[in-house]
Structure 1
């Protein structure tokens, strides 16, 4: 019974991966590979110069201001 469940799980994984990759275009996969560099314009320019791949969208990062958050004791982990 455990072997049957294992093979069903592996089969579901393989079918899911096949369907996901089949519906994605080559451009979509390349843009997903570039996402880790999309929030740093300097790194995006270096990647573009070295590989020739262009970014569809470069995200401007925003600094998180933790001091502006309300100081409520219900949302903190205070022992």
Structure 2
């Protein structure tokens, strides 16, 4: 019986901790955060936009500057 009570208290604590951490988040900000992994690859971002219908603010990868090269060490 004691184990069940401790398990229930543990689940309740976890629930309230997550609710406390997400209290200032809106549905829009959470939805936008779920699309962040696709923002650095414009091609993948376009495919996800077509599949989901949600706009992703993709950022093109930084181009190497003139005179800068990749060196093998």
Question: Shorter-chain TM-score category?
Answer: 0.5 to 0.7
Separation of aligned partners in 2, 1:12 and 1:58: 39
Query: Counting helix residues as a fraction of each chain, which structure ranks higher?
Result: 1
Segments of structure 1 that go 5 or more residues without pairing to the other structure are: 69-79
Segments of structure 2 that go 5 or more residues without pairing to the other structure are: 63-69
Separation of aligned partners in 1, 2:9 and 2:19: 15
- 1:19-30 matches, within 5 Å, as 19-30=20-31
Instruction: Tell me the equivalent position of 1:11.
Output: 12
Taking a change above 3 Å as real, the CA distance of residues 59 and 30 of structure 1, as seen in their structure-2 partners, is farther
Query: Which shifted more, 50-59 or 39-48?
Result: 50-59
TM-score normalised by L of structure 2: 0.57
Instruction: Tell me the equivalent position of 2:44.
Output: 43
Taking a change above 3 Å as real, the CA distance of residues 8 and 58 of structure 1, as seen in their structure-2 partners, is farther
TM-score normalised by L of structure 1: 0.55
For residues 48-79 of structure 1, what are the alpha-carbon distances to aligned partners after superposition, in whole Å with 9 as ceiling and x for unaligned? 23333112453737xxx8x55xxxxxxxxxxx
